[in-house]
Amino acid sequence: MTKTTNENVASRWARGQEASNHNGNFTTNGDKLYSYRQLIGITTTEGKKVLFDFTAKTGNFLSMTTSSKHISPARGYADLTVNPTVVQNLEAFNPKPF
């Protein structure tokens, strides 16, 4: 797996390529995006990148690192950013991604 910066992990997720940051806590297999072991992004069957907004503004704050160093760079590459609470209640996400 390619070791790179947080920005490049997000970029490689957008391009469907695997990557990990240098300490291994921000990773992608090109399809799913993880902050530590928490799933924070998926790829739909149509190829759209969906980022789960685990930040204080959505009431789903996980950690400062997840919010500032992982969600922030991924936001620029996501086709859609959603509140993870909403996704948990949608039938379209079955099985639930987290």
Question: Where do the structural domains in the chain lie, given as residue ranges?
Answer: 3-86
Task: Output the tens digit of pLDDT for each of the chain's 98 residues.
Answer: 889 999 999 999 999 999 999 999 999 999 999 999 889 999 999 999 999 988 767 656 566 555 578 898 999 999 999 888 776 666 555 555 54
**This model's pTM is above 0.85:** no
- Residues contacting 35, CB < 8 A, separation 6+: 25, 26, 54, 62, 65, 66, 70, 71
- pLDDT for res 13: 98
Cα 73–chain centre separation: 10
- pLDDT for res 50: 93
- pLDDT for res 69: 84
